[in-house]
A and B are shown apart, each in its own frame.
Chain A
Amino acid sequence: MSQMASPRTDERAAGTATAATAGAMGHNLPAPPAVAQASRRAAMSVGFYRAAWYKLRRDPVTLGAAAVLGLIVLITLIAPLITEHVLHTAPERMVRGPDGRFAILQPPGVGYPLGTDDLGRDVLTRLLHAGRVSLSIGFLVAIISVVIGTAAGLVAGYLGGWVDDLVNAMIQLISNVPFLFVLIILSVLLRPDVMLLSVIFGIFSWPGTARHVRGVVLSARSLEYVTAAQVLGASSWRIMTRHILPNVANIVMVVAGFAVAGAILGESALSFLGFGVQVPLASWGNMLGGSQEMFRRAPWLVYPPGLMIFATVLCVVLVADGLRDALDPRVR
């Protein structure tokens, strides 16, 4: 799945992640980056987000990736329009070749630019529709992961004590479960639809967000304006939402990006094995599922879905990476 899914994408932020876990175990590792402090410094000059945008504008790789990603999202959003009015097909309909007969396992040609599959369906049409499913799962998982992860990391980091212990125990539990294996059991047992699948992925992906958020909150908690707010008698809720949450926004944006990438990879792997999105609904992963048996006859089925996954994940990762650099005030 990350392959699998997300575990591997999480490694990307390994530095911070290890610092957070190891720190909890008393390892002598450096403190998490002082995002908050530095952002104040930047705010004195041009404003934090404007400075970030200024840096981003000089980063052609990130901008290019964002443009390609935007294009992919746009095309999948209007997929029904394209397939109906331009290609004159539907994802579940058999297409006919130029000779008027059903086109089954045809290589790319007139009427079916990417060929047809074993049921005579147009690959391009299914590819576009599959993108809707794969991308929805990616973004849904990111939303779930960000909401739960931020809330958990925030209360754990700020309140400490038993809340912290509880959140840490849950993080420990989830990150020690053999993720892919439980995922497969769950999907065999629950036969999940897209929504439920996203929720399951989200449950496995929020600990990564929570760890990062908790690390930032721990350092933000001891800032002077937080102490000032405490002295003035502000409630914990107010301090968390008004004074600490803004510090977390940057890291959350970046982590959310990796959550999207991880979920798309994870979904595709799970669906490829036949445990994720179920046919006839197409996803990039399950389009590849059957292709292995007939790759000698129909190698054209193998390339397009994989390339779409690759391109989408690559763009998401590059944008998240670029955002991280742009939002990191230490990088000038």
Chain B
Amino acid sequence: MRDFVIRRLIQSALLLWVVMSLTFVLVRLTPGGPEAAMLEQPNIEPADVERLRERFGLNDPLPVAYVKWLGNAVRLDFGRSYHYLRPPLDVMGERLWPTVQLGATAYAIGLLGIPLGVLAALHRGRWPDLGIRVFTVVGDAAPNWWMALVIIVVLANLTGWFPQGQGRGSPGTWFLHIIIPALILGLGGVVAFARYTRSQVLEVLGQDHVRTARAKGLTEGAVARRHVLRNALTPAITLLGGLLPVLISGAAITEAIFNWPGMGRLFLEAALTRDYPLLLAIVTMLTLATLLGTLLADLLYGFVDPRVRYR
């Protein structure tokens, strides 16, 4: 167990390092850096750009810049955002809370997929199963950012109002503003959870101990409650880690459409202005979150399923 955690932590650190290095080199090697974005501003002179390049260390040769950046990044110092002129982590900190609100609400909505999956599996082949299957296939195929657009168009035409940004003031306003983006974002989760739960429940239904339980005369309901669901639902915990990156990256588009002031939109802005320190900081932190999420999911899995052996 301890060896497993240590080995996985080392693996994760290696992966993080590779991702960080690749993004850094990629960002630094390509022409048309931040000065291209700076020069688009009318009142900036080439001399200013040269001064800024010097100040931001863009004139350092690549290996020097790399070592400097990595050394600082290990201490969570990602330099200064070109656009905000502040440390990237400070800027990200302000955007984190809205993203967490949206992500958590969406995740909670996604959990609705679990009862759907159970329902489908217990009624395999009958209408609840078929209905849920249609729902999951359609949910997979419909681009959810397009559904967001359609909702906005329909709402705007019907009521003249549609959610833009975070509602300020009363909890009611807040709810009105968060519920539609969260529904859109959570739909993917509902679909994934429902499909996963269905296959898990079906698998457990086919096992010997379920046959034994039926053979000793338990009702179907008791079999489902006592012998199937407990075994089938525990692995859903692993989805917790897997869904984390989906929620975060899905958030970029949802946030862009609904003007939600979160991390995803911050990233899009940083990409457009070529705010390298901010871009690199966001990718680094997201990769870290993904890796930790996966590790956490694996550990939880072993915690709820005693058959799992770490090696």
Residues of A within 8 A of B (CB): 1-4, 7-9, 11-12, 14-15, 18, 22, 25-28, 30, 172-173, 176-182, 184-186, 188-190, 261, 265, 268-269, 272-273, 275, 288, 291-292, 295-296, 299, 302-303, 305-306, 309-310, 313-314, 317-318, 321
Contacts and interface: CB of A to CB of B under 8 A. Distances in A.
A14 B19 contact: no
B140 A317 contact: yes
Interface in B226-241: 235, 238
A63 B15 CA distance: 44
A291 B294 CA distance: 38
Nearest to B308: A27
B245 A172 contact: no
A7 B245 contact: yes
Interface in B247-291: 248-250, 252-253, 256-257, 267-268, 271-272, 274, 279, 282-283, 286-287, 290-291
B308 to A, nearest CB: 5
Given A28-B305, A172-B15, A173-B19, A8 B143 contact: no
B66 interface: no
Contacts of B196: 11, 14-15
Contacts of B81: none
Contact of B256 (A11, A14, A179, A273): A273
B228 to A, nearest CB: 16
A261 B11 CA distance: 32
Contacts of A181: 249, 252, 267, 282-283, 286
Residue with the highest number of chain A CB atoms closer than 10 Å, among B11, B27, B143, B250: B143
Interface in B174-222: 188, 191-192, 195-196, 199, 203
A152 to B, nearest CB: 18
A324 to B, nearest CB: 12
B309 A273 contact: no
A46 to B, nearest CB: 25
17 contacts: A3-B144, A3-B253, A7-B246, A25-B311, A178-B245, A178-B283, A181-B282, A181-B286, A186-B26, A189-B27, A273-B256, A292-B152, A295-B156, A296-B156, A302-B150, A306-B149, A310-B146
A292 B15 CA distance: 38
B140 A26 contact: no
Given A28-B308, A176-B291, A184 B268 contact: yes
Contacts of B55: none
Given A269-B145, A299-B157, A180 B283 contact: no
Q: How large is the interface on B (under 10, 10 to 19, 20 to 34, 35 or more residues)?
A: 35 or more
Contacts of B10: none
Nearest to B18: A173
A248 B268 CA distance: 40
Contacts of A173: 15, 18-19
Interface of B: 11, 15, 18-19, 23, 26-27, 30, 32, 137-138, 140-147, 149-150, 152-153, 156-157, 188, 191-192, 195-196, 199, 203, 235, 238, 245-246, 248-250, 252-253, 256-257, 267-268, 271-272, 274, 279, 282-283, 286-287, 290-291, 294, 298, 301, 305, 307-311
Given A30-B203, A272-B145, A317-B137, A1 B150 contact: no
Nearest to A187: B271
A1 B245 CA distance: 12
B142 A310 contact: yes
Contacts of A26: 308-311
B288 to A, nearest CB: 10
A160 B290 CA distance: 27
Contacts of B153: 295, 299, 302
Contacts of A310: 141-143, 146
B272 A269 contact: no
A268 B149 CA distance: 13
A182 B235 CA distance: 30
Residue with the highest number of chain B CB atoms closer than 10 Å, among A22, A173, A176, A321: A176
Contacts of A321: 137
Given A4-B249, A12-B195, A18 B143 contact: no
Contacts of A295: 149, 152-153, 156
B195 A14 contact: yes
B143 A265 contact: yes
Contacts of B298: 25
Contacts of A180: 249-250, 252-253
Given A30-B203, A273-B268, A185 B252 contact: no
